[in-house]
Amino acid sequence: MGQYAKEFTSGTMTDRSGTCSGSSQTVMAANGNRRFIFFQNVGANAMWVQFGGAAVADSPSIKVAAGLALPFTGNFCPTEAMTVIGTAADKWVSKEA
């Protein structure tokens, strides 16, 4: 039989929501105990997310279009610091556990 990761069904969420400044900024610091991330772009423009380094408005950062979400849970959840870059004044909603 194959192996599987334990699914977490409860925990305390920490809010990491914020507003873009127009340059790369930290959404959440590195956390070796992290097991859940939710990031949603609630701004009007695309945002770019990066783990373990500064976000740039291009590859290798991950593009998150306006209104879309980027969740990590279950089998894989990054533990590196998470950064974002986007249009100044655009907002995001982000949670970690």
User: Domains of the chain: which residue ranges?
Assistant: 14-90
What per-residue confidence (pLDDT) applies to 1? 45
Question: Whose CA is closest to 47, among 14, 82, 15, 81?
Answer: 82
CATH code of the domain occupying 14-90: 2.60.120
What per-residue confidence (pLDDT) applies to 87? 98
What per-residue confidence (pLDDT) applies to 10? 79
Give dist(CA 37, CA 49) in Å, integer.
12
What per-residue confidence (pLDDT) applies to 6? 54
How confident is the model over 37-54, as pLDDT tens digits?
999 999 999 999 999 999
pTM exceeds 0.85 for this model: yes
Spell out, as residue ranges, where the chain has pLDDT lower than 50.
1, 4
| φ/ψ of residue 19, rounded to 5 | -130, 135
| φ/ψ of residue 92, rounded to 5 | -130, 155
